[in-house]
Amino acid sequence: MLRQSTPVPSILLHPLKSILRTSMFSIALAIAAAGDRSLWNLADRTAVVTGGSKGLGRAIVEELLDHGCTVLTCARDVSPLADLLSREAGGRCIAIEADVSTASGRALLVSEVEARFGARGLDVLVNNVGTNLRKASVDYTDDEYEMLHATNQASAFHLSRGCHSALKRARGCVVSVSSVSGSSNDATGAVYHMTKAALEHMTRYLACEWGPDGIRVNAVAPWFIRTPLTAPLLAQEPFHDAVRRATPLRRVGEPCEVASTVAFLAMRAAGYITGQVVGIDGGMMQEGFRYVS
């Protein structure tokens, strides 16, 4: 006659199940954490950020450094970066004076990339440099048009081409800083809108052309962000209030909110994202007409 096994008392079984669940959860967390370390940081990676001395560029440089990246940045004047360079005494932040709106400035930067990163290649190129002149279309001079085009669009195209070999060696990525002006009319000047629209289509085109080389190409499109460039406008309270009312989140953005998105697009966690223009606009581009009584 077979004897029935003595059942385990439920008072003992429940703690055992709890221990097993806790142990399995801890293992899952450990695996996830290990995955996070490989996907969610930029340790041992290299980046170039144009226009990194102030505003969005400075915020992007600091964000990439915080995630472990080695950053080469450029500006026409790098003296505002003195504090950051002294803080990063280990050499993870390098700054050179170069105007990437000119062919000679871009050549200087590309030669620095090759000299410093060599066979390893370049992991991240951030085309950040940009400026604007708000005028009626008929009031722009030829020189002003050429300056805006050279700074906002030509610099990104030619520098991306110049860094292609280094990006290909590292299977890296390009992130360009566009604007909501690239796909909407916010009355900030026709030439600025034209350059940002071109930058966004360049992003989509290069993503397809360079995808087989393992290079991802994306852009971010901010709305009003609190920077030295926007400070004079935001200092005018009626204008600032109009910006807030046009934005579902009812505030302007901060540089760190753009920088963190750029850093994410540079990470392995974003490894299947390419050809995208990511809005950082507080919902402004989704806002339709709403009558509030």
Among the listed residues 140, 145, 192, 291, the single catalytic one is: 192
Among the listed residues 289, 229, 277, the one whose alpha carbon sits nearest the alpha carbon of residue 253 = 229
Task: Let me know if 145 is a catalytic residue.
Answer: no
3-state secondary structure of 175: strand
Contact criterion met (CB below 8 Å) for 94 and 117: no
Regarding beta strands 46-50 and 124-127, do their DSSP bridges make them parallel or antiparallel, or are they unpaired? Answer: parallel
- The helix (H) or strand (E) run that includes residue 217 is strand 216-222
DSSP string covering 50-116: ESTTSHHHHHHHHHHHHTT-EEEEEES--GGGHHHHHHTTTTTEEEEE--TTSHHHHHHHHHHHHHH
Query: Would you mind telling me the total number of residues written for the chain in this entry?
Result: 293
Q: Which residues are catalytic?
A: 192
